[in-house]
Structure 1
Amino acid sequence: MIRPFFSAALVFGMLLLAVAGAIQAAERYKPFVLASRGLGDFEKKIEETRDALRMTGFEVLGEYMPYKDTFVDKAYVIVVTNDELKKTASMSQYGGFAAPWRIGITKVGDEIQIAYPNPVYIANAYRLNNDLNGVSETLRKALGAEETFNSAKGMTTKKLRKYHYTFGMEYFIDPYELAKYGSHAEAVAVLEKNLAAGVAGVTKVYRLDLPKDVTVFGVARRAPSEDGKDMDEQHIMSVVDFSELKGTAYLPYEIMVDGKKIIALHMRFRMALHYPDLKMVGENSFMNIMPSPNAIFKAFKAVAGAPET
């Protein structure tokens, strides 16, 4: 009698472990974390957010107002990094794209929302060798973490690690290839010069130098004229950022000097990753910004100093 009892207990224990493993494997993540929402003074919220980030060990790289008095009342972005993010950046291909972290402060009517990209979501989508749990916890302590949003169902680790929007769309490892120079220093110098001049409507928000000849620039995109609106961040966000909770922390876009090459994540990957529930056609769909991936590529090539083709 004892032996069958232990056999049954062993089988039951194995079943429990299998169920627990399946539940863990099926855990789903969403693109953004809502830190807080509520009434308040917008300028004071910016100051309080900046102070809270610094007090918890983040270094502020840059900040800017991408747009105002449009589809939201006001929007502001603070970009930070810390030791964990910088260390993680050097551990995988194109990991530098995850070294800067974006915090969006958005006023919608009387409400102010503070949100940031979900570290574990980005860690998996960018194929990092670190789940960024430390970053998640530090951001939670600094700003809060009420809920995650911007996807109804979310995505599993497995799906995020090989994410692309649909057949024929780019993966994380298919970036825009913008230009190549004789050295890392030369590539950085060209970008600094052209960003300062606002070539193609692209300007610098911040610069982050990392080990192994990697430099990340955060850039703002403002169309020089109505003809160039397809690359303009305000135009694009007015189409896609229509839900109650705002993804202002999608901005700014990154351009990275990786060794001698200048690259950027393809918009068809980067936008779809942050807005995975956007439909292909219809109102507020990718169809309404169909020219934007190529328009951004063209603008980024210009600021990278690549000749027109």
Structure 2
Amino acid sequence: MKKLIFSSLLVLMFSLGSVAQDIAPYIKIGESSESVQQITEKVKNILESNSFIVLGDYNPSNKSTLKVIAFTRTDLKNTVVKVKDRGALAAVFKVGLEQKNGKVTLSYTNPDYILRAYLGDSYNTYKTTFQKFSSDLKSTFSSLGNDFKPFGGTVKAENLKKYHYKIMMPYFSDPVELNNFTSFEEGLKIISANLNAKKGNTTEVYKLVYANEKVAVFGVGLLNKSEGEGYFLPIIGEAHVAALPYEIILQGNKATMLHGKYRLALHWPDLTMGTFMKIMSTPGDIEDALDALCK
């Protein structure tokens, strides 16, 4: 009996330890002396050779030293869209490249972090699918490096589903409404046309459309030098470049975005309040840019 009780306690302690784990938003793959363009092509080829779907790439801040490659996989995108509260935002993951001091650092957004944050309680419903995606991603990138070090600050696993930066700050469940269209088709047409026209110095990095579910996610590069990535990224940290691009999600006839005070804090969880104050205008600037794309 004593052995049984002891064993049960060990299992309980292990379970509690797993739940209480700290998770970082990014995973470093490694470093390379090759050019950003060479590595970009390698990353895209490796992803496509391992059944991932490359959706697009771009240079954040219009800098040749920064690159983001956006991708998904069929099992992931078909699972997350089942989560009705903007679950499709969790369909797209990113590789970030940062060239500095003659080396390019490769990293990617951590599925365990993003999926817990964006899907809330639904994360556990589809946990097996997500764990396989995460494991396969690590195996896929193993030919590019072998660091696999988490970085970028940490949040406790159980806190991610209700993450917010500080008291009175927004949650995932506090999106910004950008527009209500007459239909999904109208919204898709208007947003696509505005992005094609590069309205407000934006660029379409990717567009993921679920025609049957009437859901679309747009990855939007914010290239305005004084209000976009060129302004806020150097202040809060270019090492987190895989956080970009920002998203618009169209569900039915409604277009929304994650609040900047949530979205930026989630991807830069170690930001001090002092640094956050330096980009006070950024959440509003991003909202203005994305709002204009929906008009």
Do they fold alike, i.e. is TM over 0.5? yes
Superposition pairs of residues 152-301 of structure 1, within 5 angstroms: 154-210=154-210, 211-223=212-224, 229-230=226-227, 232-241=228-237, 246-281=239-274, 285-301=275-291
CA deviations over 1:64-116 (Å, ceiling 9, x no partner):
112365xxx70111111111221122221211111121111221111111111
Counterpart secondary structure, 2:61: coil
* Letter in structure 1 aligned against 2:222: R
- Confirm or deny that 1:87 pairs with 2:78: yes
* Letter in structure 2 aligned against 1:236: F
Equivalent residue for 1:19?
13
Equivalent residue for 1:99?
91
Equivalent residue for 1:134?
132
Counterpart secondary structure, 2:96: strand
Shift of 1:201: 2.1
Equivalent residue for 2:23?
29
Larger Rg: 1
CA deviations over 1:224-250 (Å, ceiling 9, x no partner):
xx6xx23x11211111016xxx11111
- Aligned counterpart for 1:48 among listed residues 33, 42, 51: 42
Equivalent residue for 1:121?
113
TM-score normalised by length of structure 2: 0.91
Gaps of 5+ in 1: 1-6
* Letter in structure 2 aligned against 1:300: L
Tell me, yes or no, if the aligned pair for 1:36 and 1:143 is still in contact at 8 Å.
no
- Aligned counterpart for 1:65 among listed residues 56, 59, 64: 59
Q: Distance in 2 between matches of 1:68 and 1:62?
A: 15
Q: Distance in 1 between matches of 2:66 and 2:260?
A: 21
* Letter in structure 2 aligned against 1:256: I
CA deviations over 1:122-164 (Å, ceiling 9, x no partner):
111012433421221222122136111001xx22221001100
Tell me, yes or no, if the aligned pair for 2:76 and 2:91 is still in contact at 8 Å.
yes
- Confirm or deny that 1:110 pairs with 2:102: yes
Counterpart secondary structure, 1:237: helix
Counterpart secondary structure, 1:57: coil
Counterpart secondary structure, 1:199: coil
Q: Distance in 2 between matches of 1:280 and 1:264?
A: 23
* Letter in structure 1 aligned against 2:201: G
Aligned residues: 283
Q: Distance in 1 between matches of 2:37 and 2:284?
A: 36
RMSD (Å) for aligned C-alpha atoms: 1.6
CA deviations over 1:44-65 (Å, ceiling 9, x no partner):
2111111101011111111111
Tell me, yes or no, if the aligned pair for 1:29 and 1:155 is still in contact at 8 Å.
yes
Shift of 1:38: 3.2
Tell me, yes or no, if the aligned pair for 1:67 and 1:74 is still in contact at 8 Å.
no
Gaps of 5+ in 2: none
Counterpart secondary structure, 2:200: helix
Q: Distance in 2 between matches of 1:41 and 1:296?
A: 30
Counterpart secondary structure, 1:247: helix
Counterpart secondary structure, 2:60: coil
Q: Distance in 2 between matches of 1:147 and 1:84?
A: 26
